[in-house]
Amino acid sequence: RKKMELLLLLIIYLCTINSVKTHSVSRPNIILLMADDLGIGDLGCYGNRTLRTPNIDRLAEEGVALTQHIAASPLCTPSRAAFLTGRYPVRSGMAAFSRIGVFLFSASSGGLPSEEITFSKLLKQKGYATALIGKWHLGMNCESSNDFCHHPHSHGFDYFYGLPVTNFRDCKPGQGSVFLKGVQNALVNPIQITGIALVSLVIAQYIGLLKVPFQALGFFLLIITISLVVLIFFFYHFRHLNCFLMRDHQIIQQPLSYENLTQRLTKEAMQFIGRNTDVPFLLVLSYLHVHTALYASENFKGKSNHGLYGDAVEEMDWSVGQVLDVLEKHSLSDKTLVYFTSDQGAHVEEISSAGEVHGGCNGIYKGGKSTNWEGGIRVPGLLRWPGVIQAGAYIDEPTSNMDIFPTIVKLADAQLPSDRIIDGHDLLPLLQGKVTRSKHEFLFHYCNAYLNAVRWHPGNSDSVWKVFFFTPNFSPEDSNGCYDSHVCFCHGGFITRHDPPLLFDLSRDPEENVPLTPETESRFYEILRVVHQAVDNHTRSLHAVPNQLSWDNLLWKPWLQLCCSSLFQSCYCDYESGGSPLEVHS
């Protein structure tokens, strides 16, 4: 009988221990920190020795650093769509077939479709308080200026404080223009053709070769005049129309002021945490750093060894430290999973009009933002959860920013959607050291909506094969980017197609310097055969969906324009100034 009692006590004890462990990894707070255009080589924990990032590095020391963490796209809009949904952006229509792969205007009609299920929607359903602070860049309105069909509120965020689009050079006076060169190039030919056609019509009318009704000629001139006036108005007022700050559905600063901006975003994040110490919360803090236009507050300006770019990185690191400190203040560190990443690699072509480098460092990796070379998609991946995941571990398995979706949905005790393919995989077993292999045998790398490359990590090998079907044409040829066009494009004369495809083994050649050949790799054709089969299987899993980045969805639509006063008053308001800035100790 005593043996039975002891056995019963042992079973009860083991069940209790198990339930405590299960409880400890269930329904944690979630903080997701996303930088913009940050290079993996910009952080100390990934080898940088000249920029000071002690707070971000602390996440690596106290958690896990993923060294082959891959963005689902090398551009902002599709990468962020994949991050929120756990799905390749081509599945949601958030990958473009045209040259432009991101939203440029606040009054575009495209955006993350309401049918998509985001992790914020699922966590909100499970009782989480949810907030997005910072950059959104996934659309705003569909048919009217107040339907907010693509707004963060429509995708599961209770609270929004930030920018509906992104940070442009055009948003900050004196920082140049992203659009000017492109608009000039795009308009020169149409204006020349229109001018020649108009002069030809007038001459033909004058000498009697053609009879054109003066009303038709007048109407033609009127249309051209109106179009030019609208275009000039739009670009003259670009800053007011596209660079503004919102709180929920209300514009609170138009145009955006950069003064103490990171401090304001950080203060909002800290206050959100403080308001929700007694309930589980999801906070997505989406930094404007280090997308151009670069900026830094007075406490950080001129303090780094890398000009304004370095100042911005170090200010962002300060902000991360503030978030970690407020968790400690409320005794929430052990109850909170913190994740830090970038939406894609550094924008290497960013150089100011004064010649200062405004783009970051992708370490040893080739290329950068807008390309699927490793420099464009291999991003920081840092996760910390004291007592639950490993501390000080570096994991070199292929992982994706799409993996955050299933990871946190499972932690919140929510169910993964069963009516659609989720391309991400739960990271927790890898982070806890329970498994040593990633579940990603294949990762598909898209340049906009075009399948550009495939990564294959065979289960019986340490090799990571990467196959390129086409590569961007760098300009100048011997450079590391597309400096002539500011970003690389995905089709036509901007790329070189490869038949057979280029093959690299990233485990031996992470710099992607030397393509393998049938002479240097005996399994060359076998590897290509397996990859082509994987592409066929993947392609069959895709379904036609509306293209959210079509020209129609990208164009500025005046009736969708958000404006806190009126268009005739230049859309001006400022309900932010006068607020007390957060104290900074740099």
The residue among 271, 332, 259 whose CA lies nearest residue 297 is 259
- Cα three-residue angle 316-376-82, rounded to 5 degrees: 80
- What is the side-by-side order of every strand in the sheet holding 495-505? 442-447, 450-456, 465-472, 495-505
How far is Cα 123 from Cα 579, in angstroms, rounded to an integer? 32
- Cα three-residue angle 407-410-415, rounded to 5 degrees: 130
Told to judge if 249 belongs to the known catalytic residues of this protein, a careful annotator would answer no
How far is Cα 109 from Cα 148, in angstroms, rounded to an integer? 10
Beta strands 442-447 and 129-135, pairing class: unpaired
How far is Cα 132 from Cα 153, in angstroms, rounded to an integer? 9
Q: How far is CA 351 from the centre of its chain?
A: 21
- DSSP tag of 482: B
Pair of tokens at residue 8: 């019963």
How far is Cα 551 from Cα 380, in angstroms, rounded to an integer? 32
φ, ψ of residue 66 to 5 degrees: the values are -90, 125
How far is Cα 287 from Cα 163, in angstroms, rounded to an integer? 10
> Do residues 89 and 78 touch, judged by C-beta distance below 8 A?
yes
> Do residues 504 and 466 touch, judged by C-beta distance below 8 A?
yes
Q: What is the CA radius of gyration of the chain?
A: 26
Residues in CB range of 230: below 8 A, 6 or more apart: 558
Residues in CB range of 187: below 8 A, 6 or more apart: none
Told to judge if 571 belongs to the known catalytic residues of this protein, a careful annotator would answer no
Residues in CB range of 9: below 8 A, 6 or more apart: none
Indicate which residue of 15, 23, 69, 76 is catalytic.
76
Examine residue 290 and say whether the peptide bond preceding it is cis (omega within 30 degrees of 0): yes
Indicate which residue of 15, 23, 45, 137 is catalytic.
137
Examine residue 293 and say whether the peptide bond preceding it is cis (omega within 30 degrees of 0): yes
Provide, for the chain, the percentages of residues in helix, strand and coil under a 3-state DSSP scheme, each rounded to the nearest 5. 35, 15, 45
Q: Which residues are tagged catalytic? A: 76, 137
